[in-house]
Structures are given as C-alpha cells and as structure tokens.
Amino acid sequence: MKPLIVANWKMNPPSLKEAERLFAAVKNIKGAQVIICPPFIYLSAIKANGAQDVFWENRGAYTGEISPAMLKNIGVKYVIIGHSERRKHQKETNEIIAEKLKVALKVGLKPILCIDKVSQIPKNIKGLIIAYEPLFAIGTGKACSPQRAKKMRLAINKAAGRALVLYGGSVNSQNAKSYTKEAGFQGLLVGGASLKSKEFIDIIKNVCYR
C-alpha cells in the first residue's frame, strides 16, 4: 500500500491566493496518497480532500460549526479529529471526540484520530486511521525517536486491530523515512513542513522512492 501522507496546514496560510499556490505545488505528486487538510474556508475553492475538524451533528442550531454532511457533500474524504491543539484550546474531551468520530463515519468520511496515548483509542469504533502524535514533538522540532515511536505503533496495532497508523510530530524530509521504514508506520501527519512545498515534496519522495 502507498504511504498516506497527510498535510495539516492548521490556521495557515492567511490568503486564498497562497493556499491555491501551495496546493497547486503539491497536489499531483506521484507515489503517495496525499491528503491536504486546509482551513475550512479554502476547502471548496481548492477542492482539497481533507479537513482539520468537524462537528458532531449533521444539521441544526450550532452557530459557527461545520457538519460531516457538509464536508462529504463538497467532496472531502478524510477528516482529522481529536488533534491535541483542539483538545487543548477547544477543550475537546475523549467523549466529544468519540461523538465526532461516529457521525463522521456515518456519512462516509474517513476519520484520522490523533492520539498521544493508547487509552485515547475508543474501544467500540471501527474504521479509524490513527495518528500517533506525541505532545512533546508537535511543532517543537523535537521529533520522537523512531525506536520509541515503533513501540507505540505496536501498542496501537494491538489496541486498534487493523487500523492504519500514522506518525506525526516534527516530521521533516530528513526524518520522514525513519518512521515509515524503521518504525513501520503506514504514513505521516505533517504540520509545519507541509507549508513549505519543496520540503513537503521531499518528504514524499524520501518516503516513497529513496
């Protein structure tokens, strides 16, 4: 299977023009399955295939929220759920995250659940992609060692059966391959480095071809 490389742009870039430019530079790279998750506001314009979050109901009086049905209906296929930044800033709990996962799965989206502990994997929800993102490695430049990441990958495989497991946290073109080759992850969740097109392309090339 081709590695799954997920770009989490977070709250970047500041203009649609820049979003279009970045997307155009990275969207057709061969070799990997590339999922680009821009801010909601750019999704329809650039026709990206991933989103960074979703609400837990499909319609109703929820000011400011975006539903799984809305994402599905504009062509989004994947959605990141439970990112540590949302757990921290939006106070998302495992219970809220489980609701989001269920509704997203119901409409046919593929959820990418972010965790930093095995206990955050819900027991009764099947069909998830799981991204192991150790908190200390997110946005810090201090990536997890492949040996330590591999231990977690094995523990996640044990808890989550056949789920695809990705690594995320300070991934760059230098360390990317160590997670897919040495530590056995099936893909990567890339934050900061996904905003630099050359670096992001190098990550994909290094993982797929070198």
User: Which strands make up the sheet holding 187-190, listed edge to edge?
Assistant: 33-37, 4-8, 187-190, 164-168, 129-132, 110-115, 78-81, 50-51
Question: What is the distance between the alpha carbons of residues 137 and 169, in angstroms, rounded to a whole number?
Answer: 5
The site map against ligand PGA for 180-199 (x = CB under 6 A) is: ---------xxxxx------
Which one among 53, 92, 116, 133 touches ligand PGA, defined by CB under 6 A?
A: 133
Please report how close the Cβ of residue 59 comes to ligand PGA at its closest, in angstroms. Answer: 29
Q: Which of these is catalytic: 83, 89, 92, 199?
A: 83
The site map against ligand PGA for 138-177 (x = CB under 6 A) is: xx----------------------------xxxx------
13 burial (CB, 10 Å; 0-12 / 13-18 / 19+) is middle
Q: Which of these is catalytic: 65, 133, 182, 199?
A: 133
Question: Which CB atom, from 39 or from 169, has the smaller least distance to ligand PGA?
Answer: 169
* Closest-approach residue to ligand PGA (CB): 191
Q: Annotated catalytic, 133?
A: yes
Give the footprint of ligand PGA on this chain (CB under 6 A): 8, 133, 138-139, 168-171, 189-193
